[in-house]
Amino acid sequence: MPSAYVPSYYAASAHSAPEHRPLEGSAEADVCVVGGGIAGCSTALHLAERGMRVILLEANRIGWGASGRSGAQAIQGIASGQAKLDRLIGPTAARSVWEVSVEGLALMRSLIRRFSIDCDWVDGHLTTAVKPRHDRDLHAEIKELRDVYGYDSVRYVPKDELHTMLATDRYVGGLYDTNSAHLHPLNYTLGLAAAAQTLGVQIYGGTRALSFAQAGNGKLRVATAEGEVRARHLVLCGNVFLGPMAPSLARKIMAVATYIVATEPLGAARASELITNNAAVADMNWVLDYYRRSADHRLLFGGRVNYSGLKSFDAPSATRARMLKVFPQLQDVRIEYAWGGDVDITLNRAPHFGRLAQNIYFLQGFSGHGIALTGIAGKLVAEAIGGTAERFDVFARIPHADFPGGMALRRPALVLAMLYYRIKDLL
């Protein structure tokens, strides 16, 4: 049986969606997609648009993982930043990655319009500087985005103007991007799944893919508990939830826990006073705060990351404390929902796309930057399977190392490394 959604605000406010029955017996397809998040649903949708027979296997429910419970900020770029990408693959290829990320935002808008996906889309994103060195970095980033990438959707927001947008004195400046946005991530993911089904995709829920193997005649066999899928191509979109199914991929990513709280409804007037332009907001600390208003006038606030894998601290209280550092005027406000879950990160924070074999593709490593990138990644895989792999192969060129320390010691090593960045945030 599929696991229930985590008790998030998103699950509580999700649109009704069909229960997808488990796979029983044998099924045939051109492509088998594993994972029912944004990446998997987008992959299935774009393959179906090309006339391919697609089966999607989801171990739990559509949007059960990070896609359906994230901070839901749809932003340009990738988590590692363009400077690191330039060093890894060169400026020409790095620019191609950048252009794909911007196209990802346009793709989201297009899919929402085409398939009438009701997901509370709101334009606008603010990146905020907590300290002077952040402010200097913002000026440099705006110059690079405009002069190098021709991206004119951004502008600098000085402290005085920022104070008219956000009811807090915490920041010294900001970058406002009119092209980025925020949305209800679970409703968006459910909408993608529904759109894929209208194009003929078969979706099976409560169906964990256990293993895969070449089956001869150019086909693969994907085994599940109660059946199997035989397909010419396989796309793995399960990220940290693939488990032992693909150990070579598991070595390249790490699961880290993130946490979000949602206040009780504040009313339209009080919510609007907090963020007057209704933008999503994220600060520039390594352990960052990110927040936004919901459609029903709550504040959704994320601000904790747990690298240790332990659950020994009170995440809801810690996240609420961070919220009150930004908005102390919310001291009287009750937290109505608090939830967390794992996202995957890579060692270099760049996305990890590639092939395990000629007919086995994977998408992972979005590193907390995947709301827009996961969707366009699905389109790139569909292009590659359809015979046009140039854009997918640019991403596949990004080098990725295993996390050091092996499966036993890599998490303690990561915790020690993150101490440096936590200390840096304090300086």
Between the alpha carbon of residue 67 and those of residues 136, 215, 238, 368, the distances in Å are 33, 32, 11, 10
Q: Which CATH class is domain 9-408?
A: alpha beta
Question: By C-alpha distance, which of 8, 68, 79 is closest to 364?
Answer: 79
pLDDT in tens, the chain (427 residues): 678 999 999 999 999 999 999 999 999 999 999 999 999 999 999 999 999 999 999 999 999 999 999 999 999 999 888 999 999 999 999 999 999 999 999 999 999 999 999 999 999 999 999 999 999 999 999 999 999 999 999 999 999 999 999 999 999 999 999 999 999 999 999 999 999 999 999 999 999 999 999 988 889 999 999 999 999 999 999 998 897 899 999 889 888 888 999 999 999 999 999 999 999 999 998 788 999 999 999 999 997 665 445 555 578 898 999 999 999 999 999 999 999 888 888 989 999 999 999 999 999 999 888 999 999 999 999 999 999 999 999 999 999 998 876 554 445 544 444 444 454 555 4
Q: Where are the domains of the chain?
A: 9-408
pTM above 0.75, yes or no: yes
- What is the pLDDT at residue 407? 52
- What is the pLDDT at residue 308? 47
- What is the pLDDT at residue 323? 97
Residue with tokens 């101490």: 419
Question: By C-alpha distance, which of 265, 256, 328 is closest to 299?
Answer: 265
Q: Is 402 left (phi over 0), alpha (psi -120 to 50) or beta?
A: beta
Q: Rounded to an integer, what distance in angstroms lies between the CA atom of residue 289 and that of residue 291?
A: 7
Contacts of 138 (CB under 8 A, 6+ apart): 127, 129, 156, 173, 174, 175, 284
- What is the pLDDT at residue 409? 46
